[in-house]
Amino acid sequence: MNQYSRYLNRSIFLATCVAFAFTSAAALGCGDDGGGPTVDSTLLGIYRVDSYQGSTVGCEQPEDLEPAPVFVLLYSFLPNDDPDEPLLGGIFCGTIDFCLQAAAEAPEPQIGYSFIQGDDDFGWRGWAISSSGIEGDQCRADVQAHVLTSTSSDTINIETKTFATVFDGDQATDGSGRLTCRNAAAIEALRDDPPCTEILVLDATFERGL
């Protein structure tokens, strides 16, 4: 069974903990239903997955993966650590009813996508740490970079690339030699053009609104 068959559930999805590493933030709008603010996007809805491809040996030649998810849901959620600033989330679901239930509950994604920056015109972006550790006197982290784009009114593309980053940590001041590795530093290390080790790409077509 391909390791992607469980879909992105190895990831720890980041929200406001890495937002300060970038200068722009997600655009916000106010909801009309009294349920609090909602993310400013017309992409919210349920999409049927048409293509699901990936590779664990580099990012150049993704291949069809099985089993593929049936639907991907794009919805607005309020992160637990900053409930006043909605974000764009994405999760997989097997039925329309399950998608609608998830959209109504609007959980912070733990298995799925959390897009913290962008807009519908130029694309949405999010980041996740899939594994991390310390090698010698440096930190390492496998960083997943998610990009959501839409080229028409009813289709979306989500591309996830995993990059092997190496970066400096914070040395403890008590002389213990303890090294602290920070998520924001891992994200910033993407600017150093680290090697891309894995890719996952899906295309989906709009099925119905929320």
pLDDT on residue 36: 61
pLDDT on residue 34: 37
pLDDT on residue 86: 94
* pTM, 2 dp: 0.81
User: Across the 210 residues of the chain, what is the mean pLDDT of every consecutive 10-residue run?
Assistant: 36 34 33 61 97 96 94 94 90 97 91 92 95 91 97 94 96 81 94 97 97
pLDDT on residue 171: 84
DSSP designation for 116: -
| Beta strand residue intervals within 27-99, DSSP E | 28-29, 38-39, 45-55, 63-64, 71-77, 87-93
pLDDT on residue 2: 36
pLDDT on residue 167: 96
- Cis before 67? omega within 30: yes
Other C-beta atoms lying within 10 Å of the C-beta of residue 107: 15
pLDDT on residue 25: 34
- Quick one: tokens of 59? 């990012």
pLDDT on residue 17: 32
Contact 168, 138 (CB under 8 A): yes
